[in-house]
Amino acid sequence: MALQSLDIKARSATTTPSPSARETMEVAKLIDISKCIGCKACQVACMEWNDLRDEVGTNVGVYDNPPNLSAQSWTVMRYSEVEVEANKLEWLIRKDGCMHCADPGCLKACPAPGAIVQYSNGIVDFHQENCIGCGYCITGCPFDIPRISKKDSKAYKCTLCSDRVAVGMEPACVKTCPTGAIVFGTKDDMIHHAEGRITDLKSRGYANAGLYDPQGVGGTHVMYVLQHADKPELFSGLPKNPSISAMVGLWKGITKPLTSFALGMLAVGTLFHYVMKGPNEVSKDIEKEFENES
């Protein structure tokens, strides 16, 4: 997506403030898994709006199709059959895609200035014109979301329809969902909406129903209502306490400016050594010994 507005909170590989005079409301998409029937209308709407066509693959024996995210499939439905209670089969269907983290690991890892931006409304967007194709965003993401295109070596993922949201429309998947399982609005409204759903689910026997808005990544701008919020892993491996890996934190933290500074000081230090100690020359005695020869 190209830069459509200047309301930017964070920009990859940038050490000065981003253009952020304009403030927009924080938005969120809420996916109520208990209402999802797995029809994949959202998957299709995403392809339609974003002009994406994945390769037609083969059936892998389950409903998951395509079986994974790709540069052409920014959202996929993941189906899992579980028995949380004995003899009570549950079909848990999760719409997978970018979570639009408040503290995005992809943006933190990205070395290309402005290839990943976070708008003040919370959407994390990839600007492919600045992308260099290194794949560091994949290394940084705690949810395994970004994919590098085989065609152009650029990284792609769900934009939360930043182009639609910028002009006051809801994302394409939200508009399409026939059961109302996906809703969109301000983050506060979505949390409020989720509370109503959770109360309802609890009254229907889902004692552990809850909201998935993981604080390890500062909360997300795509949230789930889970029937079993105590066990998010049941939903096709949704991580329980996702956060940016400590390894990535160490790799991209304060260590880098410090190391850069140290290398600069070392280079300058050698110059000072030279002017303060003088060059390491051959001594006059030895030089004289060989003088007549040369």
Partner 1 sequence: MNRNPNDIVRYTAYERANHWAVGMSFILLALSGLAFFHPAFYPLSLLLGGAVWARILHPFIGVLMALLFIMMFFRFWKLNIITQVDKEWLSRVKEMVDGDDHNMPESGKYNGGQKIMFWLAAVCMVLLLVSGIVIWRAYFSGLFPIGLIRFSSLLHAAVAAFMIALIIVHIYAAIWTRGTIRAMLYGTVSRAWAKQHHPAWFRQITGGGK
Residues within the interface to ligand SF4 (CB under 6 A): 98-101, 104-106, 124, 141, 143, 145-146, 157
Binding mask 65-104 for partner 1 (x = CB under 8 A): ----------------------------------------
Of 17, 19, 57, 111, which lies in the binding site for ligand HEM, with binding defined by CB under 6 A? 111
Binding mask 114-143 for ligand HEM (x = CB under 6 A): --------------------x---------
Q: Binds 262, which of ligand SF4, ligand HEM, partner 1, none (CB < 5 to 8 A, cut-off by type)?
A: partner 1
**CB-hemisphere CA count at 13 Å for 99?**
27
Of 21, 56, 254, 267, which lies in the binding site for partner 1, with binding defined by CB under 8 A? 267
Binding mask 14-53 for partner 1 (x = CB under 8 A): xx--------------------------------------
Q: CA-CA distance, 229 to 225, in Å (whole number)?
A: 8
Asked if 13 interacts with ligand HEM (CB under 6 A), we say: no
Distances (CA, A) of 38 to 18, 93, 178: 40, 6, 11
Handedness of CA 39, 157, 180, 209 (dihedral sign): positive
For partner 1, the closer of residues 4 and 259 by Cβ is 259
Q: Which stretch binds partner 1 (CB under 8 A): 38-46, 47-55, 79-87, 270-278?
A: 270-278
- Nearest C-alpha neighbor of 140 from the set 117, 107, 188: 107
Of 53, 88, 151, 277, which lies in the binding site for partner 1, with binding defined by CB under 8 A? 277
Q: CA-CA distance, 271 to 281, in Å (whole number)?
A: 16
Looking at residues 117 to 146 of the shown chain, list those that interact with partner 1 (rule: CB under 8 A).
Answer: 132-136, 138-139, 144
Longest Cα separation, the chain = 105
Q: CA-CA distance, 49 to 159, in Å (whole number)?
A: 11
Q: CA-CA distance, 131 to 124, in Å (whole number)?
A: 14
Report residue 253: phi and psi, to 5°: -85, -150
Q: Binds 100, which of ligand SF4, partner 1, ligand HEM, none (CB < 5 to 8 A, cut-off by type)?
A: ligand SF4
- Nearest C-alpha neighbor of 181 from the set 145, 143, 238, 224: 224
Asked if 275 interacts with partner 1 (CB under 8 A), we say: no
- Nearest C-alpha neighbor of 236 from the set 81, 30, 38: 81
User: Which DSSP symbol is given to 13?
Assistant: T
For ligand SF4, the closer of residues 65 and 245 by Cβ is 245
Asked if 57 interacts with ligand HEM (CB under 6 A), we say: no
Q: Binds 157, which of partner 1, ligand SF4, ligand HEM, none (CB < 5 to 8 A, cut-off by type)?
A: ligand SF4
User: Which DSSP symbol is given to 32?
Assistant: E
